[in-house]
């Protein structure tokens, strides 16, 4: 039995897949399988991947490649990988990112030593050379908070003091299998990840922490998350469609439906505040109005929200219809980033 199954969705990553694949093939953990899911990528990603894999004949029996006949989105690609996985633990690696050589081995050893359902780690936030204006780019070490148990960690995820990204967390496969019991909000895919609803699909990690019995924190950065654009939300906002907001709403409601009545009301309210907070990092009045329309019942918990003083101030301005400070704040951010 493989110790770890690594799932790597592939779509339009020809500029990054070589670095990602080499970082996986050179992992020090021997008993691992690598499941690449081609989500009908229209570029040369798969050609590059096959060339790179040929350099690692010793890994040939540990690599599996699946092809979607049509582009189905990131959640579907993750589900395809999960359905094929045989490892005791699951790790998701995005194909434009990469890993430290000892990443899988360090996480797996921690999981076994502490009998943990989930191991989460620190990570690197890398800014691509094109954005940092340097040949090597920039890299920042990102610390995660330490939690004593899954309940504390779940509260941290809902308040936003820990990120629910899939890519710095090793999860027992049986925990993913238990999510098939969670009914999706409004129908749809019954897989662990919400097929057809990409925006916010990482929220699935919240459901996993809600089911975990034991967790472990590895205070070591093992993963490089590579940012390709300067401001992910505002870049998306320029091309956002109603489908973008529908997907975000679907994924948020999926979490709310699953957790309602099982976690403190303040934690769930703060999760709702986190979901709509990006609408405040905008110069568009319609985003501010959307913030007011989404989960208005959560606004009375702004003073409990474990975020920065600046973020709480923005939320208070929005709740009082004070839009000018929001617009000025966003303009200032844009100037600093420029």
pLDDT at res. 187 = 44
pLDDT at res. 170 = 98
Q: Which helix (H) or strand (E) holds 276?
A: helix 265-276
Residues 237, 276: Cα–Cα separation, whole Å: 13
Q: Mind listing the pLDDT tens digit for each residue in 245-282?
A: 999 999 999 999 999 999 999 999 999 999 999 999 98
Q: Where are the domains of the chain?
A: 4-228, 233-337
Instruction: Summarize the confidence of residues 195-208 as an average pLDDT.
Output: 92
CATH number of 4-228: 3.90.550.10
Residues with Cβ < 8 Å from 152, sequence gap 6 or more?
A: none
The single-letter DSSP state of residue 335 is H
Q: Is the pLDDT score of 233 beyond 70? A: no
Q: Is the pLDDT score of 167 beyond 50? A: yes
Q: Is the pLDDT score of 183 beyond 70? A: no
Q: Is the pLDDT score of 26 beyond 60? A: yes
pLDDT at res. 229 = 53
pTM strictly above 0.75: yes
In three-state form (DSSP H/G/I as H, E/B as E, the rest C), the secondary structure along 12-71 is CCCCCHHHHHHHHHCCCCCCEEEEEEECCCCCCHHHHHHHHHCCCHHHHHHEEEEECCCC
Confidence band, pLDDT 50/70/90 cuts, at residue 337: low
Phi, psi for residue 216 in degrees, rounded to 5: -140, 145
């Amino acid at each position: 039995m493989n110790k770890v199954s690594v799932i790597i969705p592939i779509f339009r990553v020809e500029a990054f897949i070589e670095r990602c694949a080499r970082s996986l093939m050179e992992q020090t953990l021997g008993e691992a399988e690598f499941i690449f899911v081609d989500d009908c990528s229209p570029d040369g990603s798969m050609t590059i991947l096959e060339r790179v894999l040929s350099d690692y004949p010793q890994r040939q029996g540990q690599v599996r490649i699946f092809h979607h006949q049509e582009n189905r989105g990131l959640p579907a690609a993750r589900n395809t990988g999960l359905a094929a996985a045989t490892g005791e633990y699951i790790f998701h690696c995005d194909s434009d990112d990469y890993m430290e050589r000892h990443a899988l081995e360090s996480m797996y050893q921690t999981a076994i030593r502490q009998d943990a359902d989930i191991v989460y780690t620190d990570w690197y936030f890398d800014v691509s050379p094109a954005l940092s204006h340097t040949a090597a780019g920039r890299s920042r070490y990102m610390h995660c908070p330490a939690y004593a148990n899954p309940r504390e960690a779940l509260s941290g995820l809902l308040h936003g003091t820990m990120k629910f990204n899939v890519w710095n967390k090793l999860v027992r496969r049986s925990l993913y299998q238990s999510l098939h019991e969670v009914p999706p909000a409004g129908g749809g895919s019954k897989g662990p990840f919400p097929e057809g609803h990409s925006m916010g699909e990482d929220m699935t990690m919240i459901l996993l922490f809600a089911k975990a019995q034991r967790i472990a924190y590895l205070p070591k950065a093992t993963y490089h998350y590579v940012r390709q654009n300067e401001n992910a939300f505002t870049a998306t906002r320029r091309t956002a469609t109603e489908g973008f907001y529908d997907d975000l709403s679907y994924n948020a409601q999926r979490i709310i439906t699953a957790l309602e009545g099982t976690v403190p009301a303040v934690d769930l309210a703060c999760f709702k505040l986190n979901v709509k907070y990006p609408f405040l990092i905008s110069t568009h009045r319609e985003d501010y109005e959307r913030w007011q329309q989404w989960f208005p019942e959560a606004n009375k918990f702004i003073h409990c929200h474990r975020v920065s003083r600046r973020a709480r101030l923005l939320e208070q301005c929005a709740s009082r219809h004070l839009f000018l400070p929001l617009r000025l704040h966003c303009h200032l951010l844009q100037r600093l980033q420029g």
